[in-house]
Amino acid sequence: MSDISDRKDDHIQLALTSDHQSLPGGSFDRVSFEHRGLPELALSDIDISGDFLGKLTSAPFIIGAMTGGCDNGERINQHLAEAAEQCHIPMALGSQRAALEQGLAQKVRTWAPNATILGNLGATQLRQSGVELAKRAVDSVAANALVIHLNPLQELIQPDGDRDWNDVLEAIQNCANQLPVPIIVKEVGAGIGPITARQLVDAGVQWIELAGRGGTSWASIELARNSSSRARQIAAPFIDWGMDTTELLVSVRSACADVNLIGSGGVRNGVDMAKCIRLGAQMSALAQPFLAPALESSAAVIEKIEILQEQLRWTLFLTASKNLGALRSAAIVQ
Ligand SMILES: Cc1cc2nc3c(=O)[nH]c(=O)nc-3n(C[C@H](O)[C@H](O)[C@H](O)COP(=O)(O)O)c2cc1C
């Protein structure tokens, strides 16, 4: 197994524990809907379906990026992909770097021939290898869009991480101009703020996944893998570095009125999803909550999806919102 695969296995094991999750009481808890005691609707009237990249989704959420599906990630991705296909929920792959560098099979389309599948590469790989690598990532899985992740903090904490972030924006711009599918730029838990969002939009990016603080902490995960005392001392103050997801939804939406936003980073249930939509996101995404079910079976992932859908449906009902359009103007209490 390669170093990248070993690292990915460590990530999965560490991400499963609650030690590397933000504590409860995060930014989603600071936003509340006005409870509507008179919904004047039946639960069966509620429609949570939506549209993502021109295709119908049964609900406005994405299975977030976790593994490219090589080695031990294959079982995880098979279960996620089969569930995505059956439930009409889009699925984001984790980084395809190892698969592309090592020429490994990527089987996601055998499990999910019709689902919306998002490819994934790190921004610094794109800077090094250019649009050709991005095209290979898309073609190898017939991706409906390519996700490019920005993870400068994670790279700093990784002992062998990439420390040269020059010219990354230009590499992203080249992808936005030359790829046949849309690109989505995301963080991995520290968030994309209004200045970065503006730079991305000016470079031609139309979709941003915020991946803010409040869920999985990559600083914490990478720190747990780093045994050097000196490195741990340097990294310690950065453990909570980042910007909260709900606050980013408001500030990025006001800085970039037309960009399509995906709210993520600490989304844990259907109520959180509804808050993302209400605060200006087109979609939401959850990664870590799908990890344990994905290790078990596709039935477990399907059950998780159905629970999230029902929580979202209840939230629309209790805010007197018949559909996602109505949810966007549901009353919130400050
Ligand atoms: C086990 C695991 C592996 C991940 N690998 C990737 C990855 O390869 N590429 C990526 O863009 N994000 C990756 N992420 C980050 C997630 O997509 C997401 O942005 C982040 O975990 C915050 O969302 P969450 O709080 O719902 O977990 C990974 C997350 C987890 C839990």
Give the model's confidence band at 3: pLDDT under 50 very low, under 70 low, under 90 confident, else very high: confident
Q: Which atom of ligand 1 is nearest to the CA of 211?
A: 19
Mean pLDDT of all residues in 167-174:
97
Domains and CATH numbers, the chain: 47-333 (3.20.20.70)
Residue 108, token pair as written in the block: 């996601």
Ligand 1 centre distance from Cα of residue 99 (Å) = 17
Ligand 1 centre distance from Cα of residue 216 (Å) = 7
Mean pLDDT of all residues in 244-267:
97
- In this predicted structure, the answer to whether residue 298 has a pLDDT above a threshold of 70 is yes
Is the minimum distance from the CB of 264 to ligand 1 under 6 angstroms? yes
Confidence at residue 259, expressed as pLDDT on a 0 to 100 scale:
98
Of residues 24, 29, 25, 21, the one with CA closest to residue 275: 29
Among protein residues, the one whose CA lies closest to atom 2 of ligand 1: 66
Is the minimum distance from the CB of 151 to ligand 1 under 6 angstroms? no
Q: How many Cβ atoms are within 10 Å of 289's Cβ, its own excluded? A: 19
Confidence at residue 2, expressed as pLDDT on a 0 to 100 scale:
61
Per the CB < 8 A criterion, the answer to whether 190 and 262 are in contact is no
Is 97 assigned to a binding site? yes
**Most confidently modeled range among 18-22, 23-27, 58-62, 159-163:** 58-62
Among protein residues, the one whose CA lies closest to atom 31 of ligand 1: 288
